Structure 1
Amino acid sequence: MELDRFIYPFASAVVFAMIFSQAGAFDPLDPNGNITIKWDVMSWTPDGYVAVVTITNFQMYRHIMSPGWTLGWTWAKKEIIWSMVGAQATEQGDCSKFKINIPHCCKRNPTVVDLLPGVPYNQQIANCCKGGVVSSWGQDPSTAVSSFQLSVGQSGTTNKTVRLPKNFTLLGPGRGYTCSQATIVQPSVFLSSDGRRQTQAMMTWNVTCTYSQMLASPSPTCCVSMSSFYNSTITPCPTCACGCQNKKNCVSSDSNILSVVGVNTPPTQDNTPLLLCTQHMCPVRVHWHVKLNYKDYWRVKISIINFNYLVNYTQWTLVVQHPNLNNLTQVFSFDYKPLIPYPSTNDSGMFYGIKFYNDVLMEAGPDGNVQSELILEKDTNTFTFNQGWAFPRKVYFNGDECMMPLPDEYPYLPNSAIANWISMSTILGALLILELIAFW
């Protein structure tokens, strides 16, 4: 009985920890990644304040792609938004009690979106108006920031009377982000354009939003297939890796509907994808092919294929974890940046498209793929083609982990291949000895 009293609470704690670890936002390849929302009160007004809100994406390889960010919150009191620059509220709400000056938004829980490119200059501020698209910090820090300005009324007019907004949401429900409550921090300091004068915000608070793939999607959104030069077998994506076929969620390659689907076709009303019918039913498949073997190097070809007829993946990212990436020598037609999650190893890296060349993965069809080749120097202490060592340990596309085949399904190295290599080495060695004898 005493043992039960100990085991049950312990077991419950373990189960809770397992559930939390799956639903939580910790990413071992990007342990410090988050999106931070900083709210700087720049000046006080007769009934409130003017603030600049800055959204910074500190995630190394997960960006916010089209249709862009949406930011929501709940006011603590009866605040209103008099005006906005660089963004707009999606709904005005009930402003009927205002007869002369009509506020921009009177909702208690406003939702705000970024403005599209090309708006008049007087509606812009720095880092605004990109349609809500925000790059990952690892890919391009200069475009990993989005900002807007708002004038808030019917709020406090001092640090002691202002109440912080609550219940922040980013990208809306079902998009995978969970946001903390706002926390007052040290007021931000700003430098003038010439760098000679400092100004300070009246008040600053931060909100941190973290991502969980489980919250964003109940099933994976990509999968990995494999092949190699030393085995004629191609290991496909696992069957039903991202779901199973039915008549409603995919179309065959000869479907009439594909004749009217264009590059800029908008998503369906319920945002369901239009996928090509496959045995894996994933929007994206990553193929890893072990292509060639040299004396001191080996070569890999990576292909990314889009099976979604309604989505262009702008500024896509591909993250690969493999122990030989610390000896990556050359990458063709992709950009590459190593990730260093732990000081003792460098076994993971981020691949992404070259700007204006292949940074957009087009919708499904003839152009719906991008590919590159890698040359890696062999680490003589660990390198082998045996037991699937040449294939990646983990693969992420646009920040989501892809479904991998089971290890025992990887293309294996035939026993005959080992014997052939040994025989060839013996023959080459004998020929070399004969040449040396003849020379001398």
Structure 2
Amino acid sequence: MEFDSGKQQQNYVIPQLKLVASIVLCFILLSPAEAFDPLDPTGNVTIRWDIMSWTADGYLATVTIFNLQAYRNIIYPGWTLGWTWAKKEVIMTMVGAQATEQGDCSKFKLAIPHSCKRNPEVVDLMPGAPYNMQYTNCCRGGVLASWTQDPTTAVSAFQMAVGKSGTSNKTVKLPNNYKLLGPGPGYSCGPAKLVRATVYPTTDHRRKSQALMSWNVTCTYSQFLASKNPSCCVSFSSFYSDTITGCPTCACGCQNNDTCVKSDSKLLKLPEILNNTKKDNIPTTPLLQCTHHMCHVRIHWHVKVNYKDYWRVKIAIINFNYRQNYTDWTLVVQHPNLNNVTQVYSFEYKPVLPYDSINDTAMFYGLKYYNDLLMQAGPQGNVQSEVLMKKDKNTFTLKQGWAFPRRVYFNGEECMLPPPDSYPFLPNSAHQLPINISIMTACIILMLFSIW
């Protein structure tokens, strides 16, 4: 009897667990935002430490930061790199960067270290730093372009002399608790891992030098960790409809009206309101224009013209943050017809997945010295361009909202799209259902299977 009772309980518990798992899976499938980025699955920031030589009680190291993310920039105020020493190490000297705090160096009487903090934080130098403080790929204020946009400015480096650390591969201990801060939260770093020593080219192309010891740290970005709400939203319009589909209400959260200002507010004429900064000139909190969506940035996609063999789209990016200029911004759009881009008029353009079998994603960014800087909210707080695409005769249609993008990212953040049933539709066309039918059907079948 006991055996039968246990078997009955097991037969009851297993279907319940399956049902719970099915419901959780459905929520994941229907979630509008994802920690895993399907458009940049391997994107990361890699930090490489190379010991170049040994000193009396430590080593000379070159630290290089590679922004290997396809379209996410490290924007102003730039990167801040932190870690915790494994022993009692100190930073004796540093070029190309500086520690934010010196710490307690009272034990040192002759050569005073650059920083004695057990958990130092290091920032890049600003442009125009003294020549004797500069290092290769330094001094851009910590701003890094995305790897797709410009690999030459996606790298930053500095050099430092570390003391009290050990003077051999066996006595040096790898730092831990790495942190990548600066432009905001969202980055998490793994542990340092020893790798094959880096080989460096020399001025003599026939010779190469090699680091004595190397290790890597990999940091990845999660929009979930960065903020519970997105920072941008998307609106739609078209030539064939008078309907303008605006951003969803509270797309970026419903803050209190005290945290935003109207575009005609007299407060905007007060310098202390716009320039609410810390000592290092880094804005503390955003100051948003009061809107129904309360987003920092809105992207508008307008289907402008339908030719015989081509169609044209106008894209506008509008800034609603009075305390933020977006330098070297990026816009990523996923749409099936972006594999046939014919001309982009006032933005730069690159495919994000040029070697993928489905090339349906494009990255746009501003022309250098022309519209690469998206000014703060106001008359100059917008940039615009038009994109001409050749029609794919097998798939092109203006029905059921096909002409509008599937995903939109601004500066690496996924933007909130309007619900599909609100898209501008052709006259007398049926509205597309707001939830993906295939996903919902899969969820229902999965739950029924669990109950059976």
- TM-score, length basis structure 2: 0.87
The 5-angstrom pairing of residues 354-365 of structure 1 reads 354-365=367-378
How many angstroms does 1:247 deviate by?
2.9
- For 2:21 and 2:101, how far apart are their aligned partners in 1? 43
How many angstroms does 1:18 deviate by?
7.3
Give the aligned residue type for 1:26: F
Give the aligned residue type for 2:104: D
The 5-angstrom pairing of residues 25-424 of structure 1 reads 25-171=35-181, 175-261=185-271, 265=275, 267=277, 271-340=284-353, 343-415=356-428
Secondary structure of 1:36 counterpart: strand
- For 1:392 and 1:267, how far apart are their aligned partners in 2? 37
Secondary structure of 1:175 counterpart: coil
- For 2:224 and 2:251, how far apart are their aligned partners in 1? 15
Runs of 5+ unmatched residues, structure 1:
417-440
How many angstroms does 1:99 deviate by?
1.3
Q: Report runs of 4+ in structure 1 exceeding 6 Å deviation.
A: 11-14, 16-24
How many angstroms does 1:245 deviate by?
4.5
- TM-superposition CA deviations, 1:15-50 (whole Å, max 9, x none): 599789999853111111100000000001111100
Equivalent position to 2:11, from 3, 22, 30: 3
Relative distance call for 1:23 and 1:339 in structure 2 (3 A) is closer
- For 2:19 and 2:179, how far apart are their aligned partners in 1? 33
- For 1:327 and 1:56, how far apart are their aligned partners in 2? 31
Which shifted more, 108-117 or 255-264? Answer: 255-264
Secondary structure of 1:205 counterpart: strand
Give the aligned residue type for 1:3: N
Secondary structure of 1:366 counterpart: coil
Q: CA RMSD in A?
A: 2.5
Q: Is the 8 A contact 2:276 2:283 kept in 1?
A: no
- For 2:327 and 2:182, how far apart are their aligned partners in 1? 20
How many angstroms does 1:260 deviate by?
3.0
- For 1:12 and 1:80, how far apart are their aligned partners in 2? 52
Secondary structure of 1:248 counterpart: helix
- For 1:404 and 1:138, how far apart are their aligned partners in 2? 24
Secondary structure of 2:258 counterpart: coil
- For 1:25 and 1:162, how far apart are their aligned partners in 2? 35
Give the aligned residue type for 1:312: N
How many angstroms does 1:174 deviate by?
5.3
- TM-superposition CA deviations, 1:259-310 (whole Å, max 9, x none): 1359983547882211110000001000000001111111100000000011
- For 2:105 and 2:28, how far apart are their aligned partners in 1? 44
- For 1:356 and 1:321, how far apart are their aligned partners in 2? 27
How many angstroms does 1:173 deviate by?
9.7
Q: Is the 8 A contact 1:61 1:138 kept in 2?
A: yes
- For 1:7 and 1:311, how far apart are their aligned partners in 2? 52
- For 2:44 and 2:333, how far apart are their aligned partners in 1? 20
Q: Is the 8 A contact 1:245 1:277 kept in 2?
A: no
Q: Is the 8 A contact 1:71 1:111 kept in 2?
A: yes
Secondary structure of 1:387 counterpart: helix
The match for 2:433 is none
Which shifted more, 239-248 or 328-337? Answer: 239-248
- For 2:177 and 2:416, how far apart are their aligned partners in 1? 33
Give the aligned residue type for 1:377: K
The match for 2:436 is none
Relative distance call for 1:370 and 1:172 in structure 2 (3 A) is closer
- For 1:270 and 1:351, how far apart are their aligned partners in 2? 26
- For 1:162 and 1:255, how far apart are their aligned partners in 2? 59
How many angstroms does 1:2 deviate by?
1.6
Relative distance call for 1:300 and 1:309 in structure 2 (3 A) is same
Relative distance call for 1:341 and 1:76 in structure 2 (3 A) is farther
Give the aligned residue type for 1:60: A
How many angstroms does 1:3 deviate by?
3.4
- For 1:377 and 1:263, how far apart are their aligned partners in 2? 47
- TM-superposition CA deviations, 1:67-108 (whole Å, max 9, x none): 010000000111111010111110111111111111111111
- For 2:33 and 2:214, how far apart are their aligned partners in 1? 30
Relative distance call for 1:279 and 1:18 in structure 2 (3 A) is closer
- For 1:176 and 1:113, how far apart are their aligned partners in 2? 18
How many angstroms does 1:5 deviate by?
4.8
- TM-score, length basis structure 1: 0.90
- For 2:40 and 2:86, how far apart are their aligned partners in 1? 33
Q: Is the 8 A contact 1:28 1:341 kept in 2?
A: no
Q: Is the 8 A contact 1:31 1:341 kept in 2?
A: no
How many angstroms does 1:139 deviate by?
0.4
How many angstroms does 1:415 deviate by?
2.7
Secondary structure of 2:219 counterpart: strand
- For 2:274 and 2:75, how far apart are their aligned partners in 1? 15
Q: How many residues are paired up?
A: 417
Give the aligned residue type for 1:227: S
How many angstroms does 1:345 deviate by?
0.5
Give the aligned residue type for 2:162: V
Q: Is the 8 A contact 2:310 2:391 kept in 1?
A: yes
- TM-superposition CA deviations, 1:366-409 (whole Å, max 9, x none): 00000000111111111100000000000000000000000000
- For 2:413 and 2:331, how far apart are their aligned partners in 1? 9
Q: Is the 8 A contact 1:267 1:310 kept in 2?
A: no
